[in-house]
């Protein structure tokens, strides 16, 4: 039985929303970032990285306090405004190829602790601690956890009907996506939505494992304060069928001392290796892998597909167990500097270019995991290898803020 709650969100003034919201800070190139910070005084990036040129010289505590101060300035100047009462939001992102629609709400720390909200990725303690300190010092979060739920016809019908009403925001971002936000503040409608989620046994984290873990750590640290907002964290709840799950492809700096011929021979033990020459080939079904090596593409088809668990049958795990670890000597997927990851929404020509440039010797293309695999892993308390999935949609910073 899942619990969601409305909250008194902070959001941009209606006339400034397209100027305030931004992509995640890490997604900007240095030139793009400089342009935004130099020419757009309303960008939320000014809050996320105040005095960005000198950021690395300051302690974490000093940086976090600067974020808090800049955030308060945006509120004082009415660039950001707080809702008069607790609300939900319905949010749609329309890109060139897809439409994503979900509900923005507070989700329960208790549900997270009791495994009503299920996880499939591991977290790094230092990152969880770092973001917990960030939340504690800044007093807000604008990056919701992406959570998926089993599709419910009643909810889908409500969403379709609700989208016919006048939105609070309708704007386009520079990447040509269209964003629409509806505010849900009617008490009866809020109660009905809560009842719909009370009928759902399990929710699944799609993206945001570190953010949710940090929220739990902050709750445990500060719950004696009596701050009720700590009992929840902001989430973007979206039906399973609306998610877009990409793979993370892998590129490796070297062949661990093997020649191309030796490597291909070693691969043939577990895979049927087919030379695709210059064909831009990537797998179209499970247990198949693409490879770019020595100026040519290869198709690798796994010979033995009999596995005892969903984790063993996961393509990212298979690549690790059959290739990356035994042949290329990579044991730590998270920290080994010889391996890099390319999200599957990038063209495979990028992998070709990076290998052709000489910085890397081999690239691997995977078939994306399914939502069924993700749920089976979470239901069995199993953890995916690092960088197994890249999941859309991605939320814009500064669109909705949850205060702590």
pLDDT tens readout for residues 25-63: 888 888 888 888 899 999 999 999 876 545 556 788 888
CATH code: domain of residue 183? 3.90.1530.10
Cis preceding-peptide flag for 393 (omega within 30 of 0) = yes
The number of domains in the chain is 2
- Note the pLDDT of residue 177: 94
**Mean pLDDT value of segment 104-111:** 98
- Note the pLDDT of residue 114: 97
- Note the pLDDT of residue 57: 67
Which residue shows structure tokens 């039985």? 1
Are residues 176 and 324 located together in one domain of the fold?
Answer: no
Task: Work out the percent of the chain whose per-residue pLDDT is above 70.
Answer: 98
pLDDT value at 165 more than 80: yes
Name the nearest CA neighbour of 248 among 276, 209, 289.
289
Least confident segment among 35-44, 177-186, 356-365: 35-44
342: phi then psi, degrees, rounded to nearest 5: -120, 120
**Mean pLDDT value of segment 288-293:** 98
Return d(Cα 18, Cα 22) in angstroms, integer. 8
Who contacts 295 (Cβ-Cβ below 8 Å, separation ≥6)? Answer: 356
Q: Contact at 8 Å (CB) between 115 and 205? A: no
Record the tokens describing residue 44, joined without a space: 């939320």
Are residues 363 and 216 located together in one domain of the fold?
Answer: no
- Note the pLDDT of residue 349: 97
Are residues 329 and 289 located together in one domain of the fold?
Answer: yes
Return d(Cα 92, Cα 69) in angstroms, integer. 31
Are residues 44 and 110 located together in one domain of the fold?
Answer: yes
pLDDT tens readout for residues 378-390: 999 999 999 999 9
Are residues 301 and 235 located together in one domain of the fold?
Answer: no
Q: What is the mean pLDDT of the chain?
A: 95
**Mean pLDDT value of segment 358-378:** 96
pLDDT value at 362 more than 60: yes
pLDDT tens readout for residues 69-95: 999 999 999 999 999 999 999 999 999
Record the tokens describing residue 46, joined without a space: 């000014």
Are residues 115 and 200 located together in one domain of the fold?
Answer: yes
Are residues 170 and 37 located together in one domain of the fold?
Answer: yes
Are residues 222 and 314 located together in one domain of the fold?
Answer: no
Helix, strand, coil percentages in the chain from 3-state DSSP, rounded to 5:
35, 25, 35
- Note the pLDDT of residue 180: 98
Q: Which domain holds residue 259?
A: 247-389
pLDDT value at 354 more than 80: yes
- Note the pLDDT of residue 52: 57
Cis preceding-peptide flag for 230 (omega within 30 of 0) = no
What is the pLDDT confidence band of residue 162, given thresholds at 50, 70 and 90? very high
Taking CA atoms, 147 is separated from 96, 107, 331, in Å, by: 23, 9, 30
Are residues 134 and 214 located together in one domain of the fold?
Answer: yes
Compare 104 and 96 and report the one with higher pLDDT: 104
pLDDT value at 320 more than 70: yes
- Note the pLDDT of residue 193: 98
**Mean pLDDT value of segment 165-187:** 96
Are residues 175 and 316 located together in one domain of the fold?
Answer: no
What is the pLDDT confidence band of residue 310, given thresholds at 50, 70 and 90? very high
Maximal CA-CA distance, the chain: 68
366: phi then psi, degrees, rounded to nearest 5: -110, 165
CATH code: domain of residue 274? 3.30.1760.10
Helix, strand or coil, per DSSP, at residue 289: strand
Q: Please state the pTM of the whole predicted model.
A: 0.94
């Amino acid at each position: 039985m899942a619990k969601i709650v409305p909250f008194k969100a902070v959001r941009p003034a209606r006339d400034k929303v397209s100027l305030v919201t931004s992509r995640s800070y890490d997604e900007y190139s240095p030139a793009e970032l400089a342009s935004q910070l130099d020419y757009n005084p309303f960008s939320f990036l000014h809050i996320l990285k105040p005095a960005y040129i000198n950021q690395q010289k300051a302690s974490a505590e000093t940086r976090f306090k600067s974020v808090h101060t800049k955030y308060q300035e945006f509120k004082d100047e009415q660039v950001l405004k707080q809702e008069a009462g607790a609300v939900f939001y319905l949010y749609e992102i329309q890109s060139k190829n897809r439409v994503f629609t979900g509900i923005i709400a507070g989700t329960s720390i208790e549900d997270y602790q009791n495994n009503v909200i299920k996880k499939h990725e591991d977290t790094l303690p230092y990152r969880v601690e770092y973001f917990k300190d960030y939340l504690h010092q800044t007093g807000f979060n604008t990056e919701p956890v992406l959570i998926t739920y089993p599709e419910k016809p009643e909810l889908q019908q409500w969403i379709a009907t609700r989208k016919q009403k006048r939105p609070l925001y309708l704007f386009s971002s520079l990447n040509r996506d269209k964003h629409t936000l509806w505010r849900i503040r009617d008490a009866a409608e809020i109660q009905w939505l809560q009842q719909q989620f009370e009928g759902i046994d399990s929710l699944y984290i799609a993206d945001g494992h570190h953010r949710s873990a940090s929220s739990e750590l902050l709750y445990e640290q500060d719950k004696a304060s009596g701050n009720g907002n700590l009992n929840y964290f902001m989430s973007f709840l979206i039906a399973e069928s609306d998610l877009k799950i990409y793979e993370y492809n892998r590129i490796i700096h070297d062949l661990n001392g093997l020649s191309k011929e030796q490597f291909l021979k070693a691969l043939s033990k577990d895979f049927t290796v087919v030379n695709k020459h210059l064909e831009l080939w990537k797998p179209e079904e499970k247990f198949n892998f693409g490879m770019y090596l020595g100026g040519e593409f290869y198709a690798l088809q796994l010979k033995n597909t009999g596995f005892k668990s969903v984790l063993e049958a996961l393509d990212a795990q298979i690549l690790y167990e059959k290739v990356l670890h035994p042949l290329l000597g990579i044991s730590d997927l998270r920290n080994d500097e010889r391996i890099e990851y390319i999200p599957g929404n990038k063209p495979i020509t990028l992998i070709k270019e990076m290998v052709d440039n000489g910085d890397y010797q081999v690239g691997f293309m995977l078939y994306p995991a399914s939502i069924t695999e993700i749920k089976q892993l979470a239901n069995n308390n199993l953890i995916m290898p690092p960088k197994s999935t890249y999941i859309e949609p991605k939320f814009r910073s500064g669109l909705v803020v949850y205060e702590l």
